[in-house]
């Protein structure tokens, strides 16, 4: 009975106009008959009946309440109803320039405005609006695949691999997962290849196999299954190769199937 008394006291405090003796509106109680073999007390029925009426009233109030508008992330940033802390958090996470280009947290040696515009338009929707952060660059970190892996050891977000070869051609891959050492191929169908020659070309997953990304200490491989990789880089990030493969049905990304690397950048799109 003590638990029932506590529960009834809660309802009285919650809605005193309903349960106090001075209430103008009386609510009909519902009793449960107690037989000699039952452990239930009639007060149980009374309390839970009152709880049912309280829930019903709450539902009715909800139905007649103001209909809230669903707003987009951009709309929420402009909403005056948001507190300053929430607004600050949104501003820090969702960023883009006035012309729709992504915000780069660091300078890029390989990507210009045209590159950014084309790449951003073909990224998965879940990455839209997030700033791009540089996690590896040969110009900053040196030419080492080990360093590339080490800089992404704590990441759990998609990455954009950008390469410029000695012929000044820019190409690379969007990978659904960070680049890492792995025994088997990993990744999802969101992974795709791209090249600027100089027009933008994109090669999405064909569905024929799941040879998306595989890394070891000697090389990095993206795409495969037809005797060659769509994109291959050696341990020094100096020699590379690109062949047509069943994973993406791509044309070779570089001017030549075997190429020499000029620069490499890897950007993370944190979501």
pLDDT of residue 65: 46
Rounded CA separation 41/35 (Å): 9
pLDDT of residue 53: 60
Q: What is the pLDDT of residues 172-205, one digit of tens each?
A: 999 999 999 999 999 999 999 999 988 999 999 9
Task: Convert 207-244 into a string of H (helix), E (strand) and C (coil).
Answer: CCCCCCEEECCCEEEECCCCCCCCEEEECCCCEEECCC
The structural domains of the chain, with segments of one domain joined by +, span 2-63, 72-97, 104-269
pLDDT of residue 49: 53
pLDDT of residue 227: 84
**Tokens representing residue 203 in the block:** 């090669």
In 191-218, which positions are buried (b, 16+ CB within 10 angstroms) versus exposed (e)? bbbbbbeeebeebbbeeeeebbbbbeee
pLDDT of residue 197: 84
pLDDT of residue 68: 40
pLDDT mean by block of 10 residues, the chain; 271 residues: 54 54 42 45 48 52 45 36 32 48 89 94 89 95 97 94 96 97 97 95 97 98 93 98 97 96 93 62
pLDDT of residue 259: 98
């Amino acid at each position: 009975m003590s638990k029932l008394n506590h529960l009834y006291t809660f309802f009285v405090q919650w809605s005193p106009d309903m349960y106090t003796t001075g209430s103008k509106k009386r609510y009909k109680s519902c009793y449960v008959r107690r037989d000699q073999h039952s452990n239930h007390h009639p007060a149980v029925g009374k309390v839970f009946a009152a709880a049912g009426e309280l829930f019903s009233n709450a539902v009715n109030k909800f139905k007649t309440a103001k209909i809230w508008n669903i707003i987009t992330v951009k709309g929420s940033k402009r909403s005056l109803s948001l507190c300053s802390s929430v607004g600050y958090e949104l501003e820090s996470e969702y960023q883009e320039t006035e012309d729709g280009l992504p915000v780069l947290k660091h300078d890029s040696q390989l990507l210009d405005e045209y590159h950014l515009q084309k790449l951003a338009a073909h990224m998965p929707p879940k990455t839209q609006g997030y700033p791009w952060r540089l996690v590896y660059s040969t110009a900053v970190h040196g030419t080492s695949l080990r360093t590339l892996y080490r800089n992404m050891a704590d990441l759990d977000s998609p990455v954009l691999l950008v390469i410029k070869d000695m012929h000044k051609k820019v190409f690379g891959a969007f990978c659904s997962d960070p680049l890492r050492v792995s025994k088997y191929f990993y990744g999802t169908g969101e992974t795709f290849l791209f090249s600027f020659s100089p027009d933008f070309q994109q090669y999405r997953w064909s569905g024929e196999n799941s040879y998306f990304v595989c890394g070891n200490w000697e090389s990095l491989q993206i795409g495969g299954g037809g005797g060659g990789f769509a994109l291959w880089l050696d341990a020094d990030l100096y020699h590379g190769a690109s062949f047509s493969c069943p994973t993406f049905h791509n044309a070779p990304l570089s001017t030549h199937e075997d190429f020499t690397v000029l620069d490499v950048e890897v950007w993370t799109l944190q979501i």
